[in-house]
Structure 1
């Protein structure tokens, strides 16, 4: 299971989303990967900024968009629980 936060420097909403994600994911023994879309673009990968740059922060769960602008904690917890149950089965 992978949880990724797409963000950018100076984004207050991104800081809040990161704190929420780290708190929630810790309950599941998971870590959050944080990708700065501007830094990625500067390094040559402009695709993330082109697709997601106007609605950051964006939360990706297993590479698929789960939400943006804020963390929907009940939904995220439900999805993480379901994925963990499938993994344990």
Structure 2
């Protein structure tokens, strides 16, 4: 099994792109030979996060590094999980 990866998705309630991003992250994570920890963070629960991200969600980090904004490309996400 590969090393553990942490994926953080900044989201907000009612964001259909966020739902799509989370679905892609889960689907790809299940298909790779790595342990993937998924953290979903609602930016509306924290004024600082709301200020930082606002409407610019979903925002996806892998191991703390920004990788995607608005949409997650399945192939590129897989490459990030398996190529580093």
* Common topology (TM > 0.5): yes
Which TM-score band (shorter chain)?
Answer: 0.7 to 0.9
Retained in 2: the 8 A contact 1:22–1:31?
Answer: no
Residues in 2 aligned to 1:69 and 1:51: alpha-carbon distance in whole angstroms: 15
Could you say which structure has the greater relative contact order, defined with CA pairs below 8 angstroms and 6 or more residues apart? 2
In the alignment, which residue of structure 1 is the partner of 2:67? 66
Question: Which segments of 5 or more consecutive residues in structure 1 lack a partner in the other structure?
Answer: 84-89
Question: Which segments of 5 or more consecutive residues in structure 2 lack a partner in the other structure?
Answer: none
Q: Cα RMSD (Å) of the superposition?
A: 1.3
TM-score by length of 1: 0.78
Structure 1 stretches (4+) deviating beyond 4 angstroms? Answer: none
Residues in 1 aligned to 2:28 and 2:46: alpha-carbon distance in whole angstroms: 26
Residues in 2 aligned to 1:77 and 1:71: alpha-carbon distance in whole angstroms: 10
Matched, 1:81 2:74: no
Retained in 2: the 8 A contact 1:25–1:32?
Answer: no
Task: Compute the displacement of 1:50 (Å).
Answer: 2.3
Retained in 2: the 8 A contact 1:57–1:70?
Answer: yes
